[in-house]
Structure 1
Amino acid sequence: MKTGYYAVARGRCTGVYKTWSECERQVKGYRNARPVLLQSKLLMIIYRKFIKQSDALAFILKNSISNHAGDGKSSQSELSSTTELQKLSSSKPSFSQEENIWEGIPIVYTDGACSFNGHVGATAGIGVYWGEQHVDNISEPLLRGPPTNNRAELEAVIRAVQMAIQRRYHQLIVRTDSNLLIQTMNSWIHGWQKNGWKTSNGTTVKNQDLIIELNGLLKNINVRFEHVAGHVGIYGNEKADQLAREGALHYHQTKS
């Protein structure tokens, strides 16, 4: 068995893996996947084995930001990214504060599914994916409130955070394809609380019961929300989506 630290900078799920089998699942069949080769031209480098975990993390940081194949020309955004990378590389305290505190932290993928969203006969389910055949994976119908996609997304995160607290985790990374959820919990909630749970146009905030519940849970654990694109082959997200859709199949059966 191959051993070491396997850094996946581009693949189904980026990160550092301790076994080759875990790394292989993220890159096998992934478009443009290839290991580092000693060639003069820059390649689409997406994974590499390291002895030290710190080197693996540095590889991900570098290649997910500034490793581009091309003719040597750089756009303004690419130059900006390179500049930011140089700042990070030369500022060890900043890197330590922003990244090292999340090293080795559990990662969970959450998703909600709803068929006929907003219409009569809608069915909704939640999906929580910790890993292959993980005991804490969840695939259930949405049991509270009207069956909508946004409620299912929130409920899935609530269940994941509850489990993390139960497991006595101090930190958790939640990956979701819902920008709405991330904006809600990271930004909008603060204004809504001050405005009596009214939006900027004066309407009542939807799903505030779940938002309030989740916000209360977040006082007991340090959670970082990370956005992932949905339905583009990201393994963890696809598995969470599958669990949510399977949960929605049991919606009417549970409600009846």
Structure 2
Amino acid sequence: MAKGGYYAVANGRKVGIFGSWDECRAQVNGYPQARYKKFVTVSEALAFIDNYRLGCTSGSTSSISRASSEDGENKNTSRKRKCSVESSSVASTSELPKRLKNCDPEVWRDAPVVYTDGACSNNGRCEAKAGFGVFWGKNHVDNLYGPVLGAPTNNRGELQAVDQALKQAINKKLPAIVLRTDSKLLINSLDNYMDKWKRNSWKTYDGKDVLNQDLLRSIDESTRKILVKFEYVPGHSGDFGNDAADELARRGAQMYSAQRSM
């Protein structure tokens, strides 16, 4: 939980949940008919925003999720809704990768924002357990978690989460998706090193095999079928989507069996 609770802004310069009063005040101070309130949990904050949102837009659908977390849940932040819920702590990559250079910016207007995460307990030890989590939104039917297939490492969990999210998006026939993750290593690998590894027959600069090739190849194949933009969000910063994905990944890790890596 964010220090001091969560500040929900239902009507302000930016609608969303903030981790400090200063961030909240910047959105509501002097704003006509501002609506905001402090809560102990993210769920309460989201309910406050949702209740207000019912009066400013209609037509949203509800669904029963396969996986949801107690706290850190949020409606999918698709920009199709007039009142979208956004996180102030998200920072996108400073420069788009080559594969997105010629992409029409409008394609991202309606792209869903999905959070992915990996988790591993006792990382690097023989008793390690790893899992992945994909968070589409509060009570969303596509929320997903499970054990890592293969070696139980956090990096593999991060990659498997992205792999699953992309496959879900492709099955839904989405043209584009925004994936938010707290792993800079993952973003750097997929946006900056993937092409180099492919040109070098999946070898590193010193001739060693690139780790997790199966997942990297699968992700590479998926990115040919859907536009994907990765955005970095700091981990354990009180971001509702990241917290939810982390909780799902932890659940997945509890399902891990050592036999899966044999």
TM-score, normalization: structure 2? Answer: 0.64
- Residue of 112, 120, 125 corresponding to 2:131: 125
Find the counterpart in structure 2 of residue 69 from structure 1: none
Find the counterpart in structure 1 of residue 161 from structure 2: 156
Find the counterpart in structure 2 of residue 26 from structure 1: 17
Q: 8 Å contact 1:128–1:137 — kept in the other structure?
A: yes
**What is the alpha-carbon distance in structure 2 between the residues aligned to residue 126 and residue 192 of structure 1?**
24
Larger Rg, first or second structure (1 or 2): 1
- Residue of 164, 172, 178 corresponding to 1:167: 172
> How big is the alpha-carbon RMSD for the aligned residues of Structure 1 and Structure 2?
3.3
What SS class does the counterpart of residue 26 from structure 1 fall into?
A: strand
Q: For residues 70-110 of structure 1, give each alpha carbon's deviation from its aligned partner in whole angstroms, at most 9, with x where no partner exists.
A: xxxxxxxxxxxxxxxxxxxxxxxxxxx76433112101000
Alignment partner of 1:109 is 2:104: no
Q: 8 Å contact 2:150–2:260 — kept in the other structure?
A: no
**What is the alpha-carbon distance in structure 1 between the residues aligned to residue 20 and residue 139 of structure 2?**
22
**What is the alpha-carbon distance in structure 2 between the residues aligned to residue 191 and residue 181 of structure 1?**
15
Find the counterpart in structure 2 of residue 76 from structure 1: none
Find the counterpart in structure 1 of residue 257 from structure 2: 252
Q: 8 Å contact 1:141–1:254 — kept in the other structure?
A: no
Q: 8 Å contact 2:137–2:143 — kept in the other structure?
A: yes
Offset of residue 193 of structure 1: 1.1
Q: Which runs of 5+ in 1 are unaligned?
A: 1-11, 40-48, 66-96
Offset of residue 204 of structure 1: 1.4
Letter in 1 for 2:106: N
Give the direction of change, closer, same or farther, for the CA distance of 1:150–1:253 in structure 2 (3 Å limit). Answer: closer
What SS class does the counterpart of residue 223 from structure 1 fall into?
A: strand
Offset of residue 252 of structure 1: 2.7
Letter in 1 for 2:108: W
**What is the alpha-carbon distance in structure 1 between the residues aligned to residue 181 and residue 248 of structure 2?**
14
**What is the alpha-carbon distance in structure 2 between the residues aligned to residue 254 and residue 243 of structure 1?**
21
Of stretches 99-108 and 171-180 in structure 1, the one that deviates more from structure 2 is 99-108
Q: Which runs of 5+ in 2 are unaligned?
A: 1-5, 32-52, 57-78, 92-102
Offset of residue 255 of structure 1: 4.8
Offset of residue 197 of structure 1: 1.3
Q: What aligned pairs does 1:12-161 form with structure 2 within 5 A after superposition?
A: 26-27=17-18, 30-32=20-22, 33-34=24-25, 35-38=27-30, 99-142=105-148, 144-161=149-166
Q: 8 Å contact 2:166–2:222 — kept in the other structure?
A: yes
**What is the alpha-carbon distance in structure 1 between the residues aligned to residue 233 and residue 172 of structure 2?**
25
What SS class does the counterpart of residue 17 from structure 2 fall into?
A: helix
Alignment partner of 1:233 is 2:238: yes
**What is the alpha-carbon distance in structure 1 between the residues aligned to residue 213 and residue 137 of structure 2?**
30
Find the counterpart in structure 2 of residue 183 from structure 1: 188
Letter in 2 for 1:132: K
Q: 8 Å contact 2:119–2:250 — kept in the other structure?
A: yes
Give the direction of change, closer, same or farther, for the CA distance of 1:255–1:210 in structure 2 (3 Å limit). Answer: closer
After superposing on structure 2, the runs of 4+ consecutive aligned residues of structure 1 that deviate more than 6 Å are none
What SS class does the counterpart of residue 257 from structure 2 fall into?
A: helix
- Residue of 203, 209, 212 corresponding to 2:208: 203
